Chain A
Amino acid sequence: MTPTSPVVLLVEDERQIRRFVRTAMEAEGWRVVEADTLKQGLIDAGTRKPDLVILDLGLPDGNGIEFIHGFRGWSSVPVIVLSARVDETDKIAALDAGADDYLTKPFGVGELLARVRATLRRQAPASTGSDGVFRFGDVEVDQANRVVRKAGAIAHLTPIEYRLLTLLIGNAGKVLTHRHLLREVWGPSFVESNHYVRIYVANLRQKLEADPAQPRHILTETGVGYRFQQ
């Protein structure tokens, strides 16, 4: 643990969960700052300049979403949310407020670390090849020429399909809510037309996935949205 190690701010009121998250993160070379209330978390977020925030939604002095609202006002540091509720609305609200990812309790250490890595990877410049071509599976997306190839053959995408695909791969690893996708691809007046996204994602899967019923890249986060996985 060196002074240059990245700092993670862990806002969580359960001591035992803090304990194992700290163990896991420290094993990965992180410096862990713990806060057990929302208020303390916001203070630490300002003073300790974290590189990542792991935030429990159910805090004794308020909802974690308030933290995100406050925090996103001045920082774009990634936030991973921990939720003990199965209800999707909390997750959607957290994601829409600016959280980058979420984990449902109980979660394993392996899951946590995978999400942390994925989130940080996104912070790095886009993982596009030096030739400006993004590759996943046997698909190549040539963003310079706006051409998509699958197994070498040109896949014919409509403009909206293409826009949706580039949005997904631009946020690879991140969960994008239906609302977010609708707003970005169709515009703000379409945010309630959930079935638009669903139809287009189905189309993209038909054109790009090996088995559209068991997709490997364009994944469904049930009730929340979609996540692109390279």
Chain B
Amino acid sequence: MSVTRRCFLKFTCGAAAGTLISPLPWKLLDDAAIWTQNGSWVAQTPRGPVSSLFSTCTLCGAGCGLRLRQVGSDTVSVQGVSGHPVSQGALCPAGLGLAQILHHPARVRGAMKRDRSATAPWHPMDTTSAYAEVGRKLAELRAAGRSGEIAILDLRPGRSLSVLYRNFLATAGAGRYLTLPDGRQDAATALAELAGVPRHAPGYDFAHAGAVISFGAPVFDGWCGAGPAPGLIPATGGTRPVVVQASSNASPTTNLADVWLPLRPGTETALALGLAHLLRTEWTLPFTEEPWPGYNDQVSQHTPRRVADITGLSPALLQTTARSLSGRGPVLAVGGGAPGAGPLGQAEELAIWALNLTLGNLGQAGGVVFRPDLPWSEAAPVPGGTTSLREVPDGSLDLLLVDGSLPDSPVSQALLRRKMRPQSGLIVGLSAFTVGPVAEADLILPAAGPGEWLQDVTAQALAPRTSYALARADAGLPAFAAHPAAILERLARTADFPTPASCGPDRHEEVVTDRLQSLLSQGTGHLVSPDGTTRTPVNRVASLRTFRKALLAGDCWIAPPAPARPVDGLHLTGGARPLFETVAAAAPGRLVSESADPSACPVTLMFDGQVGIAGGGALPPVVNKLRRESNFLPAVDAARVNPDFARQNGWHAGQPLTLTTKRGAWPVTLVLDETVQPGVVLLPAGPGPTGLGDPDDLRTHIIDICSGTDDPVWRVGPAALRKV
């Protein structure tokens, strides 16, 4: 018998059939799939003792409590802390992925430079050369008496590092210290402008309010990190205030609110004025009535009928809502915008504060309380002054150092670039990531990321209680990154500034220690354990060392409750009339549908975003995975419109369309959503699912799509949709 080709083929077929009905190919496939997740290219955490510890998140200013699970010295998972005095257990998607963010593809692992264009690729640069280039420019500006063209944009003022930024600018000469107020800071500023008297920082006393009228603020799902407003949800057995949510879009907060007022986009001013009108005509609540010039005229004109015409809400709904609030105790009107959907704007905030003034709740329990200040000042004033970035004249800066500690800060990159001298202006990022405001930089110096250096966290604007916490440096400083203060000191030395040590890491440590000593010396407030179960009066803390140790272990210092006493002498100043002219101008609404292109359909563009990822922040892989696999969040190009509106325009779900604004055109995919109002397009604010893997994708800044102008209200803007 000879082996023929036919025999060989039959043997092979038999062997193949035998193999296929054995586990071999299927187990190999399974193991190969696992192997791809465990290869040498995948970071592995060393085995070691598992421990849990507490810290504070520094990805934004909320100061949420963290429970870190560590294997050896490596953090492998992050959770919120139930009962935490500030965050009450909530944590946003970015915070949950904190351990992963440090390994994000957008992480800066060395000095980088690129041509003067936000779309140009980054090139690695020798660190010494990078410091030399920035130092040379600093020295030239100082020598030429142009130190006023040096500025630092501090994205989170009030930290100990902020003191060092000021010191750096002082030693430079007349540098400018710039801030970028967010919606809540805008709200606090609006009150100061309205009342015209120096006050302590205002805070909303949700815990004692009988009713809350929120103008789009995410009071249930994004007030403090991703959590509810402090005190809004009482402990077991308590009753929460009635919540009326005035919002153009559906959201978790609108779902949880007692009443949802789906007003037209940009008509919050009219609603606030209309509620003030109803307060005077329908409510039985006690209220303050003062002859405020301008404001009273506006209130008188905003009858329910007129407000209904502007907002799209029926007069009956307005009246029913107003009556339902009567007799429930203090009523609190809440502004501040939403981190993911944008700030409200000055006119809206003024109208909301005026409503609170009318309600007479300033200084009252359940209203607006005034928090005691922290026992330190913001250090020496900066010679060049402290101002908001928006107020800086265009083309007036030649060197801008951008603090990168807030990677999801919603700043318009176009606005940033416009402040620079057209040819010579240099934007330098001191950052751990290439995202957020730093995405517009020309040069980046690698800074330590969250958890890699000791930071302090103070209470956010509008928080009801003053607080202070420390975020421990657990991750250790990587070799390629530097403490932000070390970057400042090295730049100061390179530029031959006097007293460079005044902005170095040692000075930072001294400032933190001084602050702790101040809190200890003041002797008020409590140290509250991370889970909120233990409260130790500060005057019983034995020593500075014990105090520091407790804060490093995750405790928070919480100030005593703000005293509830009526605010005497709070009145509208001479500047009120022009301010109310602003309100009057905004009262008809910010409806902005317009299109010069007859083939395009004019729409109103709005955003909804989740705190932590709005503004182009670095998205941690765990969130990206959830987003991709669960449709938990829509893709970045998903333009949601009302189904009836789509039908009228001949559009269908999944259709590719082009969204145009004055900033340009963007391809979007149509998604039908019955909760979106007709004529409105809702875009998610934040990077898309593919943004994680390719840092270049993160450059598209969602806020620039909408605005890019001087108008800081990127909450709502004009746009047009047309077929591709």
Query: Do A and B come from the same complex?
Result: no
Partner-A contacts on B (CB < 8 A): none
Report which A residues bind B (CB closer than 8 A): none
